Structure 1
Amino acid sequence: MFKTLKNDIPASIVVFFVALPLCLGIALASGAPLFSGLIAGIVGGIIVGFLSGSQIGVSGPAAGLAAIVLTAITALGGWENFLVAVVLGGVIQILFGVLRFGIIAYYFPSSVIKGMLTGIGIIIILKQIPYFFGIDKNAEGNFAFLKLEGKNALTELLNSLNALFSGNFDNGATIIALIAMAILLLWSNVLSNKGKFFQLVQGPLVAVVAGIVYFLLTRDSSLGLSGDNLVSVPVPESFSDLKAQLAFPNFSVITRTDVIVAGFTIALVASLETLLCVEATDKLDPQKRVTPTNRELLAQGTGNIVSGLIGGLPITQVIVRSSANIQSGGRSKASAIIHGFLLLISVMTIPHILNYIPLSVLAAVLFIVGYKLAKPKLFKQMYELGWKQFIPFTVTVAGIVFTDLLTGIGMGLAVGIVVILIKSYQNSHFLHIEDKSNGKHKIKMTLAEEVTFFNKGAILKELDSLPRDTDLELDVRDTRYLDNDIIEILDDFAFKAKERNIDIKLISERGVVENPDSFIEFFRLRPKAS
């Protein structure tokens, strides 16, 4: 973890600046005390960061839980009663981990996961428009990626554009947002290749500093920013005042049925969001590392127990912060941990300075994050993979944008299952392994006629269990349908096989290929069966 600090420290600073307004915004959307969002961010970074097996995932308060939190606080009779449900949710998540429920992540097709990433990227961009231009925040609603009070991303975008065209925008916020965007683009496209200094000092940090300087220089002029366009962190006057921001659960209600049901709901939704984020984050990892999902449930459960005990919101691994971490060069869990300490230190020591950061600058940073998640060329790539991939992908994207995160994922998964049931049938003998060991390990793996994403978990387990120094013979001569998820697993395995000294011999109807560089390219060129 300490070998990559030169990469992790700059990335942690970027994640810190992304996480700060999101922690506050999600708390606001949840109807919870603002400080509870910061507590969840600190616990998610430090506690979960240490315990998690994910090297690049970042945890904190989850936007997808905001609607549940908002309803539960009122239904359970107050914030202290709700905190009991958060603690119970953490205990149940630990139980999920012990029972090894983490495997559920492998049963979501990659088209749905990519749709989730793309949909969130679009939502991030749409949600930041009011902040970029300093438009009245009531037109946008909140930071949360969910349907709330009859609003969704499209209705909020229309409200924001109406306010923009009506001239209801802040000149100062818009100017510094454009400056910040120019800095970010210049840094990533030009300066990052000019020397180590520009790689160590990240563009988002420079943009934030420029935003603070702009606010200080223009606050008494007509181009200054109003308080509504700045970050708003609670400012404790003393340590006792900081301690007073904490809240503690009312355990006298722990036996109530509604509290237990709320705890189970939090555990179930938080676990599902975390596992989907883990799957998505692992796909974004340049080193193709695989996160142990059961350990992740244990870490998240522990984090929710701690967060609930001291007055914090529920925690999950969060794709916005995780993707920002990856895009900023984070290499190990040190980045997530340091970002948690930065949140803690900043809240305790420099809340006044944090409150000088323009929200429009943070919006510019998130614009870049959102664009990288939802690049237009991804739609073209998914279309070229065929309708079996493209339809679940687009349904997931549309569902997330027009409804909410979990509904969109559910819609995409339902369509994906229907597509698979139409194009394939259940085959209990999809995998055959023959051990021909004689000195060096020699293993033959034969794929069946139909292999779908339902078989992803078993195939991944078999490949990961192969010993070092193995000769693997992979026979696909009888395979007529090979799902794109399986091809991606094989492609990732080819990358890891070189490190484990595993030689791969691919046998197909076209002949024999030794150690193919790319399974994706091989199967893309492979003629379709009649």
Structure 2
Amino acid sequence: MKSNNLFAHLKSDVASGLVVFLVALPLCLGIALASGAPLFSGIITGIIGGIVVGFLSQSHISVSGPAAGLTAIVFVAIADLGYESFLVAVVLAGAMQLLLGLMKAGTISNYFPSNVIEGMLAGIGVIIFIQQIPLALGSDVEISSGLGIFADIFAAFQDIQPGILIITVASLAVLITWDKTPALKKLKLVPGALVAVVTGIVINGVFMLTDSSLAVTSEYMVNLPVPKSIEEFKGIFVSPNYTAIFNPGVWIVAITITIVASIETLLCIEATERLDPLKRFVNTNVELKAQGIGNMISGLLGGLPMTSVVVRSSANVSAGAKTKMSAVIHGLLLLISVLSIPTILNMIPMATLAAILLIIGYKLANPSTVKHFWERGKYQFIPFIITLLAVVFLGLLNGVALGMILSVIFILRGNIKKAYFFRKEEYTAGDVIHVDLAQEVSFLNKAAIKLTLNKLPRNSNVIINASDTIYIAQDVLDLIHEFKMINAKEKGIKVILVGFKDAYRLDNDIETNNKVYIDKNLLSEERISQLFNN
């Protein structure tokens, strides 16, 4: 995990690091807010993700920090465990990630179906979006879980503060306009989130200067600690409650964070590799180790769990980053900002952060993603949409587990259907029924093939064709042998086997072996008719 040539492109990396800092600052605060954690914890995570993970990672353009994909887990965990105990789970998760990296488990993301992963992220997006509605309206309603969500949203709309709503709408207008206007997007040094923050500060400043009743009070503003001495600065860090290591709930949260954070990081690394104009290879095992060390330090200092983040990474690329020094510089700038301008940061209305999170939630649960999986067919869409809904209403772990189970069922069902092709046109006496086996026929296909063979009409003529088959499980060969020698004879069914290259494994009966044809091309319709009429 050594770094090379960190200062080779310092000019471009300083500029891109500044851009990523401006993007990351409001996101760090917003994700901490969505996670139900102290806002300062989001800054800590951004600093560690930039300086520590940025230095240790082999990726030249990915940037790590608090992740939107973990907010649902973190929110519930903090509510259940308390913040100090939750930090123990973050440290343990980091240690587990480090262990995964040492075990070379960097390919773990390849074993999770994309529809389940996308469904999970979309579900998290819906949760983030819903949770911001009260903040965006100025309501004190707390969003519950399950079906109670709908009642809480309705109640939030009955408790609106006009001043906060104006700031939310203005912030959303800036974010949407910035994202949709090509000319504005080219202003790389001025991210839309930063403009939204400035807009929120200015609007509320006008309300306050004019003594308007629309002015936002301090309880609806960012509230970062403002240390006046080194001792006060040390005091704002929260230490883990190490006795919580004996709490089983802490371990469950740690394992959950490990799995989700690792998958999200690996998927982001895969995406950023495609964005890298130099197409540099990233060792995912090294990345897991870097993330693990970063999460351990973040937890020890009172920060949130982190991942590599697509939003920051793509901003890094578009700003012209050349090496990972850009990520390190963004972390240093976050550290400088929290030391030098906390008073200015405390002027940010929470409504602006809510607006930023509404956009993040929408992008994670983008309707185009739903449409994409709908167009890919029911075997892709159903696990996706069930995962999404289950994550929202049953919780993240239950949602992912349900999605995985459905995906496995559909994979098995798909394999069963693809194992053979049964020509089932209108059957009349004397017709030949063809059962064509696929390239691979495993034991999973045995039940479906057995059902098909048992439903063949009495006194029919059947060709079971394995000419295109490379592998047939012995269980299936035994089934076909049993059907031909016993069941077919009992029902008066005549069977011809074609293309069974391992015919000797299928049957030692001389008469049967005479009916096992290696090449289907040798069987003309006339020859088939002769064989069945013998």
TM tier, smaller: 0.5 to 0.7
| One-letter amino acid matched to 1:10 | V
Calculate percent identity across the aligned residue pairs. Answer: 38
Give deviations 1:344-392, integer Å, cap 9, x for gaps.
2232121111111111112222222222222222222211111111111
- Aligned counterpart for 2:108 among listed residues 100, 104, 108: 104
Q: Distance in 2 between matches of 1:265 and 1:300?
A: 19
- Aligned counterpart for 2:50 among listed residues 28, 37, 45: 45
Residues 182, 271 of structure 1: CA spacing in aligned structure 2 closer, same or farther, 3 A cutoff?
A: same
CA contact (8 A) 1:173 1:360 kept: yes
Alignment of 1:500-515 (within 5 A): none
Say whether residues 1:341 and 2:345 are aligned partners: no
- Aligned counterpart for 1:238 among listed residues 229, 235, 239: 229
Q: 2:154 maps to which residue?
A: 161
Name the SS of the counterpart of 2:306 in structure 1.
Answer: strand
Q: Distance in 1 between matches of 2:387 and 2:407?
A: 10
CA contact (8 A) 1:44 1:59 kept: yes
Q: 1:21 maps to which residue?
A: 30
| One-letter amino acid matched to 1:22 | I
Alignment of 1:81-480 (within 5 A): 86-136=90-140, 139-141=141-143, 151-152=144-145, 155-164=148-157, 166=158, 168-190=159-181, 192-193=182-183, 196=186, 198-219=187-208, 220-248=211-239, 258=246, 265=252, 267-282=254-269, 284-285=271-272, 287=275, 292-313=283-304, 315-317=305-307, 322-323=310-311, 326=314, 329=318, 333=324, 336-424=327-415, 449=439
Q: 1:60 maps to which residue?
A: 66
Q: Which stretch has the larger CA shift, 389-398 or 378-387?
A: 378-387
Residues 88, 182 of structure 1: CA spacing in aligned structure 2 closer, same or farther, 3 A cutoff?
A: closer
Q: Distance in 2 between matches of 1:414 and 1:227?
A: 47
CA contact (8 A) 1:113 1:279 kept: no
Give deviations 1:193-250, integer Å, cap 9, x for gaps.
2684x34322221111111111222123112112222112122222210112234567
Q: Distance in 2 between matches of 1:365 and 1:257?
A: 35
Deviation of the 1:131 alpha carbon: 1.7
Q: TM-score, normalised by structure 2?
A: 0.66
Q: Distance in 1 between matches of 2:33 and 2:358?
A: 19
Q: Distance in 1 between matches of 2:378 and 2:270?
A: 21
Deviation of the 1:268 alpha carbon: 2.5
Q: Distance in 1 between matches of 2:193 and 2:327?
A: 17
Residues 162, 27 of structure 1: CA spacing in aligned structure 2 closer, same or farther, 3 A cutoff?
A: closer
CA contact (8 A) 2:96 2:258 kept: no
Q: Distance in 2 between matches of 1:405 and 1:399?
A: 7
Q: 1:444 maps to which residue?
A: none
CA contact (8 A) 1:20 1:343 kept: no
CA contact (8 A) 1:56 1:331 kept: no
The size of the alignment, in residue pairs, is 405
CA contact (8 A) 1:56 1:330 kept: no
Residues 405, 42 of structure 1: CA spacing in aligned structure 2 closer, same or farther, 3 A cutoff?
A: farther
CA contact (8 A) 1:41 1:59 kept: yes
Q: Distance in 2 between matches of 1:426 and 1:227?
A: 62
Give deviations 1:447-482, integer Å, cap 9, x for gaps.
x9469xxxxxxxxxxxxxxxxxxxxxxxxxx799xx
RMSD: 3.6
Give deviations 1:237-275, integer Å, cap 9, x for gaps.
222101122345677x6xx9716x667545532221122
Deviation of the 1:398 alpha carbon: 0.7
Name the SS of the counterpart of 2:351 in structure 1.
Answer: helix
Q: Distance in 1 between matches of 2:364 and 2:94?
A: 30
CA contact (8 A) 1:273 1:316 kept: no
Q: Distance in 1 between matches of 2:146 and 2:49?
A: 27
Q: Which runs of 5+ in 1 are unaligned?
A: 142-150, 428-447, 452-477, 481-530
Q: Distance in 2 between matches of 1:229 and 1:296?
A: 38
Deviation of the 1:85 alpha carbon: 5.8
Q: Distance in 1 between matches of 2:148 and 2:282?
A: 37
Q: Distance in 2 between matches of 1:367 and 1:34?
A: 17
Residues 184, 346 of structure 1: CA spacing in aligned structure 2 closer, same or farther, 3 A cutoff?
A: same
Residues 175, 236 of structure 1: CA spacing in aligned structure 2 closer, same or farther, 3 A cutoff?
A: same
Q: Distance in 2 between matches of 1:113 and 1:450?
A: 28
Deviation of the 1:106 alpha carbon: 1.0
Higher-Rg structure is: 2
CA contact (8 A) 1:126 1:157 kept: no
Name the SS of the counterpart of 2:408 in structure 1.
Answer: helix
Q: Which stretch has the larger CA shift, 169-178 or 41-50?
A: 41-50
Q: Distance in 2 between matches of 1:100 and 1:84?
A: 24
Residues 277, 86 of structure 1: CA spacing in aligned structure 2 closer, same or farther, 3 A cutoff?
A: closer
CA contact (8 A) 1:248 1:310 kept: yes
Q: Which runs of 5+ in 2 are unaligned?
A: 1-8, 419-437, 442-467, 471-534
Name the SS of the counterpart of 1:152 in structure 2.
Answer: coil
Name the SS of the counterpart of 1:102 in structure 2.
Answer: coil
| One-letter amino acid matched to 1:317 | T
CA contact (8 A) 2:51 2:329 kept: yes
Name the SS of the counterpart of 2:160 in structure 1.
Answer: coil
Residues 69, 221 of structure 1: CA spacing in aligned structure 2 closer, same or farther, 3 A cutoff?
A: closer
| One-letter amino acid matched to 2:106 | G
Q: Distance in 2 between matches of 1:335 and 1:405?
A: 33
Name the SS of the counterpart of 1:58 in structure 2.
Answer: strand
